[in-house]
Structures are given as C-alpha cells and as structure tokens.
Amino acid sequence: MNERRALIHIKSLIKARRRELPSPVDNEPPIDSVKALQHIKTLARAAQDSTDMDLAQKHIEMILTLVDKALPRTRKGIR
C-alpha cells in the first residue's frame, strides 16, 4: 500500500510540474491593456450578435487568449 501511495504522489508531482512549465504564450511580451480591451470589446460584440454557437465559442477563446497575453503571469500562474 505504501508503494501505491508513493506512486500516486510521484504522478501528482509530475502533473504539477507540467503545469508550471512555460507555454509558448509565456514567451511573448504582454500586449498593451488598452489595445487588448479594444479587441475584447469587438470580439464580445461579435459573439453576442452571432447565432452560430461554434463561432461564438471561438470568439470567447480568442478573448481568453487576449486576456492571458494582456495580464502578466505570476510565479504560480495565479493572477
């Protein structure tokens, strides 16, 4: 039973480490907050006016990407 707990602990450590590794988005410089808000406003209005749920979901994903680029990441990934 102790070996099983140790294995589970090791797996959880590996998963946590993967989450801490920088992604390609982290290497890009943050964009201007005002410019990001302008893009977010445009995408949000387009998503609001859209009747196509797939298109609206793409707009939401782009909004989240812009937010990730505009807000600096802290050490543990918490904003």
Residue 42 CA neighbour count, 13 Å, CB half: 8
Sign, CA dihedral 26-38-57-71, equals positive
Given this model, what pLDDT does residue 13 score? 65
28 assigned to some structural domain:
yes
- Higher pLDDT residue, 52 or 10? 52
Range of the domain at 44: 24-79
- Integer CA distances (angstroms), 44 to 33, 48, 59, 60, in order: 16, 6, 7, 7
Report the number of distinct structural domains present in the chain: 1
62 assigned to some structural domain:
yes
14 assigned to some structural domain:
no
pLDDT digit string (tens) for 11-58?
A: 676 666 656 555 555 566 667 778 888 888 888 888 888 788 888 888
- The pTM for the full model equals 0.50
